[in-house]
Amino acid sequence: MKTVFITGVSSGIGFELATAYLKTQTHNVIGCDLSPCSIEHPNFTYYKLDVSDLDAYKKIVDNITRPDIWINNAGLAKLGGIEAIRFEDAAKVIDVNCTAVIYGTQLAIQKMSSPSHGHIVNVSSLNGLIPTPFNSVYAASKHAVVGFTRSIQEELKLRKNPIRVSLVLPGFVKTKIMESHQDIRFPKWLDWAVTSPTQAALEIIDGLNNNQAEIICGMNGKAIKTFFKYFPKSTVNSARLLLSKNWREAVGLDKIER
């Protein structure tokens, strides 16, 4: 039996990853989250954890089986105009989305040593590649995860450390983060293009099985990344269409405030 460690396991992609691995009957799953988790399975162990609390994180890691796969998935968002976001909320987003990924990667490498083997997975977002208005703090945290993960990938290569590291870049996925900001959300008329967390999880697992260094989730994610590669300004400017509440905002006659 292999062991998978997942943060942010109570909902969204983390929940679906845990469920998918448990269905194989070949994996034990250790899941962490601040919120209770509804998964009930003999091969599942849940720990309540704020991933930004390093001391609490260390205590849990000291008491778990050495994982074969470690998925840093926990995330938090606070959307809105930058001056409307409270300082403490901005700090928490950075702590959970970025600092905790660094903690998790450090702890994973330590746990997977002697001899070194395993697979670390850091979940970022396409917001980690593309500038997104009214989403600046979240985007900053996800940009940091992209830079950090790519740097660790290169570092481990130079050190000839066999631990693998993958970067996950979901596009628009129907999660609590996406649904929790009703004034800034994906337009309902484009709901057909949103990826389900179940599909995202299956694509991530397939990517890990094929040892992909970077995994883009969902058709919308792949399309957005490709469009941004060739038409970066147009991709960024398309945010106006997603944020507009009426045609005047959409065509630029009225300013957009959120």
Q: How far apart are CA 253 and CA 10, in angstroms?
A: 42
pLDDT of residue 188: 62
For tokens 């590291």, what's the residue?
165
Query: pLDDT tens, 103-149?
Result: 999 999 999 998 889 999 999 999 999 998 999 999 999 999 999 99
pLDDT at 182 over 80: no
pLDDT of residue 149: 99
pLDDT of residue 43: 98
Average pLDDT value for residue range 205-226:
93
pLDDT of residue 239: 80
Q: Is the alpha carbon torsion for 202, 203, 209, 215 positive or negative? A: negative
pLDDT at 258 over 80: no
* pLDDT band per the 50, 70, 90 thresholds, residue 172: confident
pLDDT of residue 189: 55
pLDDT of residue 207: 98
Query: In CATH, what class is 2-226?
Result: alpha beta
pLDDT of residue 208: 98
pLDDT at 257 over 90: no
Q: How far apart are CA 73 and CA 125, in angstroms?
A: 11
Strand partners, 2: 27
pLDDT of residue 251: 67
pLDDT of residue 181: 52
Query: pLDDT tens, 8-57?
Result: 999 999 999 999 999 999 999 999 999 999 999 999 999 999 999 999 99
**Total-model pTM:** 0.92
Whole-number average pLDDT of the chain: 91
Q: How far apart are CA 92 and CA 83, in angstroms?
A: 16
Query: pLDDT tens, 54-107?
Result: 999 999 999 999 999 999 999 999 999 999 999 999 999 999 999 999 999 999
Ranges of each domain in the chain: 2-226
Query: Which is higher by pLDDT, 81 or 194?
Result: 81
Question: In Å, how far are 62, 93, 113, 206, 220 from 97, measured between CA atoms?
Answer: 22, 6, 25, 24, 22
pLDDT at 190 over 80: no
Q: Percent of the chain having pLDDT more than 90?
A: 73
Average pLDDT value for residue range 161-186:
78
